């Protein structure tokens, strides 16, 4: 039996820049739950652990350093999300 996907409850948008990213989030009722917040790129992994949930959908702007965000997201085990 295929693994069941979690129900998405929040949508997080990340606007990626050379040295920082801007994050904003909304819930299922389209209410802003945080942001916009400007965060230095070197704080990405800590930010993921503190702010993302396994039930979040993350939308990334496509840019030259999108790979950094995708790779960092994969490094953080879901059980560490708050």
Q: In this structure, is residue 3 part of a structural domain?
A: no
Residue 19, domain extent:
10-80
pLDDT, position 3? 67
Residue 58 in any domain: the answer is yes
24 part of a folded domain: yes
pLDDT tens track for 18-62: 889 999 999 999 999 999 999 998 998 889 888 988 888 888 877
Hey, what are 53's tokens?
Answer: 């949930």
Whether 1 maps to a domain, the answer reads no
CA–CA distance, 38 with 60 (Å, rounded to integer): 15
Kindly list the strands in the beta sheet with 10-16, ordered across the sheet, starting from the edge strand earlier in the chain: 32-40, 20-27, 10-16, 56-60
Residue 42, domain CATH: 3.30.420
Domain count, the chain: 1
């Amino acid at each position: 039996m295929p693994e069941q996907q979690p129900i998405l409850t929040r949508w997080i948008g990340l606007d990626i820049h050379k040295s920082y990213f801007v994050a904003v989030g909304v819930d299922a009722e389209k209410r802003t739950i945080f942001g916009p917040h400007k965060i230095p790129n070197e704080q990405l992994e800590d930010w993921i652990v503190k702010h993302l949930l396994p039930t979040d959908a993350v939308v990334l702007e496509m840019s030259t350093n999108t790979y950094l965000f995708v790779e960092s997201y994969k490094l953080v085990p879901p059980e560490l999300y708050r």
